[in-house]
A and B are shown apart, each in its own frame.
Chain A
């Protein structure tokens, strides 16, 4: 059974803390993504990575950074957590599909982060 695993289901952090969200996939996928999901706004892409050490900004990268040192692991970092970063964070992975586009994405179970 394919799997994308996020390190935490629920997190509570204080304003100003540095926060690490970890995501691991076991499908040997090239592409990995970090989204946040808020009511009424849908899924918004923060960053994605198409290879080890490669990253691309998504729609809302401000206040976030990412790290992909190994193919199976993609980390999201909140440099200095703020209350407006309280959200559901979803990690996903997929493979490029020849000749173009992507295969379907598989999601982790999500991390509900609350910043107080």
Chain B
């Protein structure tokens, strides 16, 4: 079983739409969670960390559900510039490693 599972999409949504991505992880002892954004032919960059209590940054909301072992990313009022691949990342307890999902491709359509 993969450490991190993520729906690859693609998600094609109109401008202004709300879109949500989920990502499940297998290690219940995982402690650190992140969402990354990767533009075409560029390196991944941190979008936001995911905290136990949930956190928001403008139009972006990240949530953690430990009981069901998933993290989510909600994007409200989608912009054309949100088109990218979104990667979830999990770091298990006691591990120096980071586990990446395969990424979800989002295209926002005018």
**Which A residues fall within an 8 A CB radius of B?**
30-31, 33, 35, 40-43, 45, 48, 50, 56, 58, 90, 92, 94, 96-97, 100-110
Contacts and interface: CB of A to CB of B under 8 A. Distances in A.
Nearest to B44: A107
Nearest to B48: A104
B43 A103 contact: no
B109 interface: no
A18 B79 CA distance: 45
Interface residues of B, number: 26
B7 to A, nearest CB: 12
A110 B30 CA distance: 27
A58 B44 CA distance: 19
B84 to A, nearest CB: 14
A107 B45 contact: yes
Interface string B67-110: 00000000000000000000101011111111111110000000
Contact of A104 (B43, B49, B95): B49
B34 interface: yes
B20 interface: no
Nearest to A42: B102
Given A107-B44, A107-B45, A97 B100 contact: no
